[in-house]
Every structure is written in C-alpha cells, then in structure tokens.
C-alpha cells in the first residue's frame, strides 16, 4: 500500500514565508532610503521611477503568493475536516 504524501501544508507555509520575506525586504529598503524629513531620496528621476515600479510589481507578486498560501492552508484544513 502506497503512502499518500500531502504537500499542501508545506507549500502553503512556504508561500506565506516567501510573501513575508519579500514584503520585509522592500520595507527595509524603503526605510533605509528615507532621509531626515521622512521622504525617500533618489539620485535621479529615472531611478526613482524604476525602483517604485519594480517594488510595486514585487509587492503584487508577494500578495499573490500570500493569497495562494492562505488558500492552500484553507484547502488543507477543509480536507482535514470529515463532513
């Protein structure tokens, strides 16, 4: 008899961990760019636009990873409950 391995919970936790790691790194970089007045400082307009665009895309990806991880954990929870 083969043992059925369920990777739903580790994948869900992994996706949530990736989501939190990306959000932490972006927040840390934003914090380090802030000056005395609380504004983010860039050396040129082009770098500011590219950085903001890249961080926004990464935050969207991290949010999707978070939702996918929560969905997988909810799915594992519903599959665990016997109706």
Q: What is the pLDDT of residue 69?
A: 95
Q: Residue 27 domain-assigned?
A: yes
Could you give the angle at which helices 8-33 and 45-80 cross, rounded to 10 degrees? 160
| pLDDT surpasses 50 at 1 | no
Q: What is the pLDDT of residue 3?
A: 47
**Number of independent structural domains in the chain:** 1
Of 49, 71, 70, 55, the closest CA to residue 22 belongs to 55
Q: Domain of 70? A: 8-80
Q: Which of 3-7, 27-31, 65-69 is least confident?
A: 3-7
Non-local CB neighbours of 59 within 8 Å, separated by 6+ positions: 22, 23, 26
Taking a C-beta distance cutoff of 8 angstroms, is the pair 52, 23 a contact? no
pLDDT in tens, 21-61: 999 999 999 999 999 998 989 999 999 999 999 999 999 99
Of 1, 12, 18, 2, the closest CA to residue 80 belongs to 12
Q: Residue 48 domain-assigned?
A: yes
């Amino acid at each position: 008899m083969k043992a059925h391995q369920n990777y739903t919970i580790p994948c869900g936790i992994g996706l949530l961990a990736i989501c939190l790691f990306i959000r932490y790194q972006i927040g840390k970089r934003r914090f380090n760019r802030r000056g005395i007045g609380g504004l983010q400082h860039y050396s040129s307009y082009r770098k500011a636009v590219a950085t903001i665009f890249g961080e926004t895309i990464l935050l969207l990806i991290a949010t999707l990873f978070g939702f996918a991880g929560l969905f997988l954990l909810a799915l594992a929870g519903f599959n665990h409950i016997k109706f």
